[in-house]
Each structure stands twice: as C-alpha cells, then as structure tokens.
Chain A
C-alpha cells in the first residue's frame, strides 16, 4: 500500500509537470512552485528525448496553459495560483485567457476522457482525466503496474539467492524526501496522459 501511495504521489508530481508542459508547444520548461506542505514529489525520470530542445529563450508569451487546475490539491500558498493577481515572473504559468480549444467553452460540464493503455517492461499504465469545461480538474491512473511482473521477477530472485553472499535486495520505503535513480513507469504515464489530453481537445 505504501508503495502504491509513493507511486501515486510521484505520478501526481509528474502530472503537474506534464500538464503544465503541455501548454507550451515550444517545449520550454514550465515552472511551477508547489507549496512545500504538499506531498513529497518523487521526480520520476521522464522520457528520454522529451525536452532536450533549445529551451531557455523561448518566448512564453501567449502559450495557453492547462496547468493550474491539474493539481488536484488545493494550493494554499498564494503565490502558486496565478489567478489571484500575484505577479509571477515565471511567465508560462499565467493563464492567458483563450485556451486554444474549441468554441464549446463556457458551459462547465464535467466529462472524463480516458487515455490508452501504455505498456512497459513492468506492466500497463492507463490514465483518465476529468475536465470541467476545458479545464483539467483531475487526473488519475486507472492502471499501474503494482505488483505484476516486477514483483514476480523480484520474488524469484529472492527465492533463488537468499542466504548467499550479499544481502538479498529487498523493498524498503518509508517517509522519503526524494529518490535516487530514475523511474521507468513515468514515461508510460506521460504518454497515456498526453493521449487523454489530445482526445479531450
């Protein structure tokens, strides 16, 4: 259970990164301050080849951002929410008025869009987003490789090697501030989420 929590928190963090990311087509990195009170952000090592573009000078002007609403958490720290008039220098966050989506704007109907199942070495990942109008208000993973192949593999290893030199590698995680070594699943999560966002347009 703890593992699942850890995974979800990590994924939640990368979701915010990603959704914000989505808004800037020029692949310029998007800044977002999280209030420190929030759950630990385990940075999933994200996609290879995702963002190595010529980032820094990219003019953020006018890139609409789906960001703010994607964090499911209430953001108490005033500076984080751009809508509240605090002038922030991290430009891409400013919610420019017109999202580039269609005319179906103001009616705030809630709908859900489900991304495709993306497979990786460890199993399947599927993401579903909830939209209120054109805003993403939630993103959940319908399927994550919890247990699955990876545990099977690990259990086999445990069974085969207990008692020999070196201790058998075990799972351990409690109250971590961060994690060394990148994660694999986040890439699949990103792809499924991306597809869900594309479908929602």
Chain B
C-alpha cells in the first residue's frame, strides 16, 4: 500500500469496550495539540469502559446493579445514563431495555453516549473537524482532511467487506445495529426471543447515544420498527429487511 502525501490531522485506533474505536482529527493543528486531544479522548473512553463495563465485577455499573451502591452515591455520569435509559425504555415502548438480560446492562446506550460526549469535548477544545467511530457508531463533524463532507459507509448486512449505502454530512451521528455481528443477539424484550424481520437498522440524528439506542430498539421491534422509525422526530433512518430490501427516509443524506 502506498501512502498518499501527508495531510493535516491525526488518526488513532484503540481497542476499548471490546471493540475498535478510531479517531480521525482533520484539523490542521500542531502535532502536539492533536496528540493531546487524542490522548484526552481515549482517556475518557477508557474511563467510561472501566466504570460502565458489565464484564468487570467491580465497575460502578455492576456494583450499582448488585445494590452495593445507592443511587445517591452514584457518579453524575451513571445517574445521567440511568435517567436516559429510563427515558429510552419509555420512548421505545419497552423495546430498549437496559434490564433485557436480567440484570442492569446499559451498554446499548453507553457506547454511543460516551462517543458523543467525546466528540462534543473535541469541538469545545477547538477540533471542529473530526470523525469518531466507536465500533461502528459514528459521529462526524465539519469536513474531512480531504476538504469535503465526511463519507460514511453503511455496512452491507451480508457482506462484511462491503457497504450498501453511503451517507455524507458535516454534522451527523450515525449508528447501525444489526443481527449480523454476533448472530441474532438483539432480543425482543417482550417475547424473550431473538428479534426477526430487520437485518440491519441505521439511525441518523444529532446525538449518537440516542441514535444507537433507537437503532437497537427498532431491530428488536422487527418489521413494526419501520413504522416506528418513520414517526421518530429529528431522526432519519435506513433499514435492510431480512429478505434483502433496503428502505430509507427520503431526506436521508445518501450519496448519489
């Protein structure tokens, strides 16, 4: 692979939250500044992982889940996440359920939320042009290093090496949830069975935590999720059905 000529910015990939998180800073800032911004971003994401991981028994989430920590003792972040999860349970008619597995597991919101917070902090710190991808949940701002809007592919549900849709934008939160990644792992919390009908759901909005949770909820709803997505204010969507059809909002910023 030949490297194209150097352009401003910085890229970094780290393995956090059991997935790959990549940051693309496209601002022409001094290397030391970019490095510090990246450090700050990943430090935050690692901190979130330590506090919200359901895989480590002594994380704040697990201690709270076991009743060892009172709500009044919980961190501001944990309380905020719990509030949002409760709201989401309400808005999604119970299809987004942080207790779907039988114990507290807000992971379906935490990944997108933490990436959104990281992106907001980057903007506040003067990095107005960046792309943060947390395991397939994407937040883009401004322009890419190439000088144009960011181009975001949506993964083809039957072909991991390909994409089935290209979105472009300068201020988008894009989350895709599907049943391809770990088998039918999205459970319909009402029936307790794996959700069927929708192979992959992409939600586009301005808040990555919400977009991620909505996408997961819609997959759990099955075909009815399409109608639900249509009525969702402030969000656009694309859906691939189990039988291989692609439907999307007419206003979705699809690259021609």
Binding site for B on A (CB under 8 A): 3-4, 6-10, 12-14, 16-18, 21, 29-39, 41-56, 72-74, 76-77, 79, 88-90, 122, 144-146, 150-151, 153-154, 157-158, 160-161, 164-186
Min distance, Cβ B75 to any Cβ of chain A, angstroms: 15
Taking A6-B163, A21-B15 as given, write out 19 further A-B residue pairs in contact, using a Cβ cutoff of 8 Å, ordered by the A residue number: A3-B161, A6-B161, A13-B13, A37-B3, A43-B19, A45-B181, A46-B20, A73-B1, A79-B35, A157-B158, A158-B244, A166-B241, A167-B246, A169-B164, A173-B153, A173-B163, A178-B131, A182-B135, A182-B136
Interchain CB contact under 8 A, A180 and B153 = yes
Q: Is B100 an interface residue (CB 8 A)?
A: no
Instruction: Give complex CA distance A176, B138 in Å.
Output: 13
Quick one: given A36-B10, A72-B1, are A51 and B17 in contact (CB under 8 Å)?
yes
Q: Which A residues lie within 8 Å of B200 (CB)? A: 181
Of listed B5, B140, B246, residue having the most chain A CB within 10 A: B246
Q: Are B160 and A170 in contact (CB under 8 A)?
A: no
Tell me the nearest residue of chain A to B15, going by C-beta. Answer: A51
Interface of A, helix, strand, loop or mixed by DSSP? loop
Does A154 contact B244, Cβ atoms closer than 8 Å? yes
Partner of B151 from the list A48, A177, A182 (CB cut-off 8 Å) is A177
Are B13 and A41 interface neighbours, CB within 8 A?
yes
B 170-205 binary contact with A (CB < 8 Å = 1; else 0): 000011111011100000000000000000101000
User: Which interface class (under 10, 10 to 19, 20 to 34, 35 or more) fits B?
Assistant: 35 or more
Chain B positions 28-87 with a Cβ under 8 Å from a chain A Cβ: 31, 35, 38-39, 42-43, 46-47, 49-50, 53-56, 58-59
The listed residue with most B CB atoms (<10 A of its CB), out of A10, A54, A146, is A54
Q: How far is the CB of A1 from chain B (nearest CB, A)?
A: 11
Residues on B close to A: CB < 8 A?
1, 3-22, 24-26, 31, 35, 38-39, 42-43, 46-47, 49-50, 53-56, 58-59, 131, 133, 135-138, 140, 144-145, 150-167, 174-178, 180-182, 200, 202, 240-241, 243-247
Quick one: which of B1, B42, B131 has the most chain A CB within 10 A? Answer: B1
Across the interface, which residues of B come within 8 angstroms of A157, CB to CB?
158, 243-244
Q: For the complex of A and B, list the 10 residue pairs with the smallest distance between their C-beta atoms, beginning with the closest.
A: A181-B155, A157-B244, A181-B176, A166-B245, A36-B9, A52-B55, A37-B6, A43-B20, A7-B161, A182-B136
